[in-house]
Amino acid sequence: MATRLSDVAARAGVSVKTVSNVINDYPHITARTRAKVEAAIAALDYKPNVSARSLRKGRSDFIALAIPEMGSPYFAELGAAISRAAKRRGITVLIDQTEGESAAERFVLDGMRGQLIDGIIFSPLATAPAKLTSADTGKPLVLLGERPAGGQFDRVAVDSVQASYDATTHLISLGRHRIAAIGVGGTGTGVVRRKGYRKALKAAGMAHDPALELAGTGYHRLDGAASMRELLALPEPPDAVFCFNDLLALGALRTLADAGLRVPADVAVVGFDDIEDGRYHSPSLTTISPDKEWLADNAVALLLDRIAGNGGSTHRDLTVPYTLEIRESTGG
Amino acid sequence: MATRLSDVAARAGVSVKTVSNVINDYPHITARTRAKVEAAIAALDYKPNVSARSLRKGRSDFIALAIPEMGSPYFAELGAAISRAAKRRGITVLIDQTEGESAAERFVLDGMRGQLIDGIIFSPLATAPAKLTSADTGKPLVLLGERPAGGQFDRVAVDSVQASYDATTHLISLGRHRIAAIGVGGTGTGVVRRKGYRKALKAAGMAHDPALELAGTGYHRLDGAASMRELLALPEPPDAVFCFNDLLALGALRTLADAGLRVPADVAVVGFDDIEDGRYHSPSLTTISPDKEWLADNAVALLLDRIAGNGGSTHRDLTVPYTLEIRESTGG
DNA sequence: CTGAAAGCGCTTACAG
DNA sequence: CTGAAAGCGCTTACAG
């Protein structure tokens, strides 16, 4: 039913090797031969069988992207960018939602779908990267995000401590005195960003108040809204909030609106991620904006380089450029 | 390097056929044999090679999902749901961003990555489904969305005419008299939803005013914001707007806020899709909420049924349940 | 520059 | 119930 390489060879009057050479762009083929083969390919509408090719070559030109959830705007935008970056290089990305701990871990440890994929870009949520060993995967892996890689893998991440420092310092420069943080806790993002937050307070000679550091159960609007309600119930509510991602900030803004408070007059709000929602929200959201295209492009390049056998045993740690986008939620 | 089926067979002291039988859950295997094989699989950490299996069986248990853009919340949420629905059935989803016309069309016509995938769930934007023929794909295909399938393929879609009728009727029931529509035009969504919009106006004895029907260039916040600005510049601006998706509505709300207009007091706004952003926005967005889980589950089921060779030549058209979620943007 | 042949790792008739 | 062997459609040494 499906046309095979040998059908093309027969029609073009050459050997299968020659057809394969043409398809794989090998040199030393006369223009005439190439034209004949290409005509046959077009006439038969031939498509190489990826399974066979991958079985034989041991490479598929597929990479996996494992992210906690693709319904979350930041990851959706990141996934889209990585998908594009890979496509530019002739690579296809399979996107995996890991959702919770067990699934994420199993995915990585299960060796990523047999031999199908050449490598993986992994944004861990539950799995501690430091506990991953290359034996677990058996394949090239690039880590995304805050969590220390334990020197085992290549990684590309924002300098979250510095970015959080900048975000908090911006709030301080506005003259705010009670600056809350939403999203502390956990083992990754929450820890690292709190570090930058506290560092900025300290640098300004301000003490950090545990009552102003809210943990919540997740990084969604719902959690931001709930944390903000807790903060407003405090005897002395904050006049500024640094939310560890935009979704939390959007939830917090919702609570502030419900409470009839003005942003930024009563409470200034900063987020992290620069998702599209925040740019169009009223008030628009001041946020840390990591360069997602840069991130995507470099993560893919790093992985492909590793797949090609380069890099050796030194593990590279790339720092994603970011800017602080000052918008209405802090009076910008 | 990688362990093979034959390694497992050797270790378990059985033939490769027996190992294959165990892996594929074939009957007539003694518990003892099964246990021996499973022990060997565990000991060697054996993972079947997907390429080899797929080459041999002609099935991969991969399906593709082709959507215009995964960075768009509706598609991100839908992709997440389809991914989950497929996983429940042991199927992996490859997500493809088609972005524009040419890419989308080429993807489908190029036979979907050789033989790798078993079928496709396709949300067309540029390609006219009626022009697709099964010869183009050679594989089972389920269509998503408004555009008529031309009776060639299975499809699952919301009854957009009825839903738009409901949305518009809701605005009429609020006593609004100048009801605008944002997102008309194009060949799919814009046409169908305008049909329901006009139908509702007519049923209420109201004439439709072309000046109140805005096309815009896309379905993003940016387009909604721009269209809303045009509407406000009208000699007689609208007192209600039905936006053909939530992103347009969110953009429109932003323009209204900038203009100092109150929602819903001055202008009531309704969207379509029920993306998470709209639920947390202030004001929260009244919208048509299609049951995305239902959609995902049925699209996957339909495709798998087709892959299994069922369905024959009759093409099924499934209608997704929806509700009108009345929220603050219309005073709910 | 091209051809004939082996082999990637599975599954599946075909025998026993 | 199990074993030996062919074959899915490619790519790649190996000869010529």
CA distances in angstroms from A103 to A69, A112, A136, A147, listed in the order given: 12, 12, 15, 18
pLDDT bucket at B132, cuts 50 / 70 / 90: low
- B287-301 burial: b if 16+ Cβ within 10 Å, else e: bbbbbbebbbbbbbb
Asked if A28 and A87 sit in the same domain, the reply is no
B-proximal residues of A, 49-108, CB under 8 Å: 49-55, 60, 69-73, 76-77, 79-80, 83-84, 92, 94-95, 97
8 A C-beta contact, residue B259 and residue B232: yes
A69 CB neighbour count, 10 Å cutoff: 18
Is A52 in Cβ contact with B55 (below 8 Å)?
yes
Asked if A97 and A37 sit in the same domain, the reply is no
Best CA proximity match to A265, nearest among A178, A200, A174: A174
Asked if A174 and A140 sit in the same domain, the reply is no
Q: Assign residue B99 the CATH number of its domain.
A: 3.40.50.2300
Asked if A134 and A254 sit in the same domain, the reply is no
Residue B308, SS3?
A: coil
pLDDT score recorded for residue A3 = 82
Asked if A230 and A135 sit in the same domain, the reply is no
Q: Assign residue B34 the CATH number of its domain.
A: 1.10.260.40
Residues shown for chain A: 332
Out of A210-214, B129-133, B218-222, which region has the weakest mean confidence (pLDDT)? B129-133
Residue A135 has pLDDT above 60, yes or no: no
Q: Which amino acid is at A73?
A: P
Q: Which amino acid is at A101?
A: E
Is A71 in Cβ contact with B70 (below 8 Å)?
no
Asked if A135 and A193 sit in the same domain, the reply is no
CA distances in angstroms from A59 to A46, A50, A234, listed in the order given: 21, 10, 58
Residues shown for chain B: 332
8 A C-beta contact, residue A307 and residue B252: no
Is B280 in Cβ contact with A225 (below 8 Å)?
yes
Q: Which residue has the tokens 């069986």?
A: B57
Mean local confidence (pLDDT), A161-174: 98
pLDDT score recorded for residue A199 = 98
d(Cα A242, Cα A254) in Å, to the nearest integer?
Answer: 15
Share of chain A above pLDDT 70, in %: 88
Residue B91 is assigned to a structural domain of this protein: yes
Which DSSP helix (H) or strand (E) runs through A322? strand A322-325
Asked if B201 and B168 sit in the same domain, the reply is yes
Best CA proximity match to B198, nearest among B186, B219, B184: B184
In chain B, the residue whose alpha carbon lies closest to the alpha carbon of A115 is B49
Is B50 in Cβ contact with A258 (below 8 Å)?
no
| The two three-digit tokens of residue A99, written as one number | 């959702």
8 A C-beta contact, residue B256 and residue B269: yes
Asked if B108 and B122 sit in the same domain, the reply is yes
8 A C-beta contact, residue A51 and residue A106: no
Of B50, B95, B114, the CB nearest to A48: B114
8 A C-beta contact, residue B297 and residue B85: yes
d(Cα B295, Cα B322) in Å, to the nearest integer?
Answer: 10
8 A C-beta contact, residue A240 and residue A267: yes
pLDDT bucket at B7, cuts 50 / 70 / 90: confident
Mean local confidence (pLDDT), B172-176: 97
Mean local confidence (pLDDT), B146-173: 89
B95 CB neighbour count, 10 Å cutoff: 25
Residue B54 is assigned to a structural domain of this protein: no
B137 CB neighbour count, 10 Å cutoff: 18
Q: What is the number of domains present in chain A?
A: 3
Point out which residues pair with B182 in neighbouring strands: B214, B243
Percent of chain A that is helix, strand, coil (3-state, to 5): 45, 15, 40
Asked if B135 and B279 sit in the same domain, the reply is no
DSSP-assigned letters across all residues of B222-280: HHHHHHHHHHHTSSS--SEEEESSHHHHHHHHHHHHHTT--TTTT-EEEEES--HHHHH
Residue B234 is assigned to a structural domain of this protein: yes
Q: Which residue has the tokens 């992210």?
A: A67
| The two three-digit tokens of residue A280, written as one number | 């169009």
Higher local confidence (pLDDT), A302 or A104: A302
pLDDT score recorded for residue A137 = 60
A316 CB neighbour count, 10 Å cutoff: 15
Is A281 in Cβ contact with B111 (below 8 Å)?
no
DSSP summary character for residue B190? H
Point out which residues pair with A156 in neighbouring strands: A144, A318
Residue A313 has pLDDT above 70, yes or no: yes
**Nearest nucleic acid nucleotide to B4, CA to C1' distance:** C9
Angle B38-B40-B42 from CA coordinates, rounded to 5°: 70
Q: Which domain holds residue B296?
A: 60-158+291-321
pLDDT score recorded for residue A16 = 86
d(Cα A302, Cα A140) in Å, to the nearest integer?
Answer: 10
Question: Does nucleic acid strand C have an atom less than 7 angstroms from the CB of A17?
Answer: yes
d(Cα A190, Cα A135) in Å, to the nearest integer?
Answer: 29
Residue B318 has pLDDT above 70, yes or no: yes
Residue A238, SS3?
A: coil
Asked if A64 and A152 sit in the same domain, the reply is yes
A48 touches chain B (CB under 8 A): yes
Residue B53 is assigned to a structural domain of this protein: no
CA distances in angstroms from A110 to A47, B35, B46, B275, listed in the order given: 30, 21, 10, 33
Of A51, A253, A282, the CB nearest to B115: A51
Best CA proximity match to A40, nearest among A67, A4, A73: A4
Asked if A181 and A277 sit in the same domain, the reply is yes
pLDDT score recorded for residue A44 = 86
CA A244 to chain centre: 15
pLDDT score recorded for residue B81 = 93
Asked if B126 and B224 sit in the same domain, the reply is no
pLDDT score recorded for residue A95 = 81
A217 CB neighbour count, 10 Å cutoff: 11
| The two three-digit tokens of residue B41, written as one number | 């699989």
Residue B270 is assigned to a structural domain of this protein: yes
Residue A221 has pLDDT above 60, yes or no: yes
Residue A230 has pLDDT above 90, yes or no: yes
Q: Which amino acid is at A330?
A: T
Residue B103 is assigned to a structural domain of this protein: yes
